[in-house]
Structure 1
Amino acid sequence: MTAVDVPGLREVVAEQPYQLLFATVSGAHLYGFPSADSDVDLRGVHLLPADEVVGLRHGPETLERMWQRDGVELDLVTHDLLKFARLLLRPNGYVLEQLLSPLVVQTSDAHAELAGFAGDCVTRRHAHHYRGFARTQWQLFGRTNELKPLLYTFRALLTGIHLMRTGVVEANLPVLVADLGGPSFLPDLVAAKAAGEHLTLSGGPAPELLWRTYEQWLAALVEAQERSTLPEQPTAEPHLHDFVVTLRLKT
């Protein structure tokens, strides 16, 4: 599946047990290198009613479900608003990418307001998130020789660099390659991965070139963090607190 069936996914999110502030598509579709057999990663925020927060029986902070629908594997994860707000205040690039994903399945006024706080959640410490994720994927590529972790490696590095330089979250690898002058071999690898989610690297860049390129962009991320004018700590906490309280009291 290389295109997102948004109308079909709207039916999926409508079936969820709690009100959703938003639902977006993450994963390979967001990153710009889905395969014909890629699953669809749906991410979002649900709102627990007040009686499932203040009483003895607390509702689920996180809901997770994986299943097949019309031959496509769906992976749905939603967090309660309070948990998601706390994650936003950490150097967690995933939640920023989910919140700001342009692949929107369901939205609301609350989604737009929450997205408006995103800029005040971005810090220099987010570079650690992207470095750590890139290293993990690079090690996975070393064990499997699969295209997927190799592309995830460079996607993480380039997203981190772009974020440190601009304060803007950009998760799409082809866009990042064009904006940052990324490795010239990546478009060919993106095209190759379209044929299958777990294809291995074959006839591509030599291992020595891949290693040098990885080290080069890892160093570039470290330098971008050192030069970044982003703050060390988020400043959105007071706004997020008021936002969570206001919405919770409305339920």
Structure 2
Amino acid sequence: MTEVRYEILQQLGDIEREENVRILYACESGSRAWGFPSKDSDYDVRFIYVRPVEWYLSIFSGRDVIERPISDMLDINGWDLKKALNLFRKSNPPLLEWLQSPIPYFENRTVASRIREISPLSFSPKSCMFHYLNMARGNYREYLQGEQVRIKKYFYVLRPLLACEWIDTKGTMPPMEFELLVKTYMAKGSELRAIVEELLARKKAGDELDYEPQLQVINAYIESKLAYFERAAAAHKAPESLIDEKLDGLFRQVLKEVWG
């Protein structure tokens, strides 16, 4: 990981120089941050950056995403701070996950911590539950029907369903770590948890986990949870946003902090 981390930081430095931006925060997303990487999983690096003040004063709208070509090892892309803050006020789950990633690469400004401090004011259980519910439903429909299924795709259905469970019971953004969600919501000693933990051990050990017979215990669990969260998500009320002025102030403060 040390060599990979060095390469990631080097590439982020290259992006700063080539794009004339300042990166405020960078972290790992995807399967490594969720806790179920394969041996050959790439690194999904996500970052938030800010451009010089003049860029935001133009009458033209510039591109607010920076992406680098995906290699065998690295998938690196980031969002402009203005884009990130607009998504934050809408309680965007991917962004909220970045901000609590268990694998940060660096945080050389205070912006990420300031966003975390005000996140309870913008968090929407309704929109986040629907995000995870749609993710689970889509992956279940596409990969886990029939006698033979893409067995590794169970993780990409179970994790969003467990995230829905966390939001429904705790009313906060769920942690990224899959194992923590399993331990919280799957009964110790149950057949379901035993099967899930065996799959997780196999994936971490590097098993291919390609097409295998459908796991009926997990499928039954998924179908019952999909039906439940359809009703539960709809019952949540969308909160009123209380942070617009705070975000304007934060954006201006960051511009001053970074560019003087």
What is the TM-score when the length of structure 1 is the normalising length?
0.85
Partner of residue 153, structure 1: 157
Partner of residue 244, structure 2: 237
- Select which of 197, 209, 222 maps to 2:217: 209
Q: Secondary structure at the match of 2:159?
A: helix
- Work out the CA distance in 2 between the residues paired with 1:4 and 1:95: 26
- Work out the CA distance in 1 between the residues paired with 2:222 and 2:151: 14
- Select which of 27, 31, 34 maps to 1:24: 27
Gaps of 5+ in 2: none
Shift of 1:87: 1.0
- Work out the CA distance in 1 between the residues paired with 2:245 and 2:208: 44
Q: Secondary structure at the match of 1:217?
A: helix
Query: What CA deviation, in whole Å up to 9, does each residue of 1:208-237 have, x standing for no partner?
Result: 323211022224434654776x86344332
C-alpha RMSD of the superposition: 2.7
Shift of 1:197: 8.4
- Select which of 135, 138, 149 maps to 1:133: 135
Output aligned runs, 1:75-224, within 5 Å: 75-107=75-107, 108-125=109-126, 126-142=128-144, 145-166=149-170, 167-181=172-186, 183-184=192-193, 185-196=195-206, 199-202=209-212, 206-222=214-230
Of 134-143 and 55-64, more deviation after overlay is shown by 55-64
Shift of 1:59: 4.4
Query: What CA deviation, in whole Å up to 9, does each residue of 1:127-164 have, x standing for no partner?
Result: 11110111111123237822332201110111122123
Query: What CA deviation, in whole Å up to 9, does each residue of 1:84-143 have, x standing for no partner?
Result: 011112242111101111210010222211222222221122111110111111123237
Q: Secondary structure at the match of 1:117?
A: helix
CA contact (8 A) 2:38 2:203 kept: yes
- Work out the CA distance in 2 between the residues paired with 1:198 and 1:241: 48
Query: What CA deviation, in whole Å up to 9, does each residue of 1:183-228 have, x standing for no partner?
Result: 412111112223558631536xx44323211022224434654776
- Select which of 35, 43, 46 maps to 1:40: 43
Supply the AA of the counterpart residue of 1:106: F
- Work out the CA distance in 1 between the residues paired with 2:216 and 2:102: 36
Partner of residue 55, structure 1: 58
Of 114-123 and 74-83, more deviation after overlay is shown by 114-123
The number of equivalent residue pairs is: 244
Partner of residue 15, structure 1: 14
CA contact (8 A) 1:140 1:149 kept: no
CA contact (8 A) 1:130 1:156 kept: yes
- Work out the CA distance in 1 between the residues paired with 2:122 and 2:4: 31
CA contact (8 A) 1:148 1:197 kept: no
- Work out the CA distance in 2 between the residues paired with 1:12 and 1:86: 26
- Work out the CA distance in 1 between the residues paired with 2:211 and 2:221: 16
Which of the pair has more CA radius of gyration? 2
Q: Secondary structure at the match of 1:202?
A: strand
- Work out the CA distance in 1 between the residues paired with 2:234 and 2:247: 28
Given the superposition, is the C-alpha separation of residues 188 and 100 from structure 1 closer, same or farther in structure 2, using an over 3 Å criterion? same
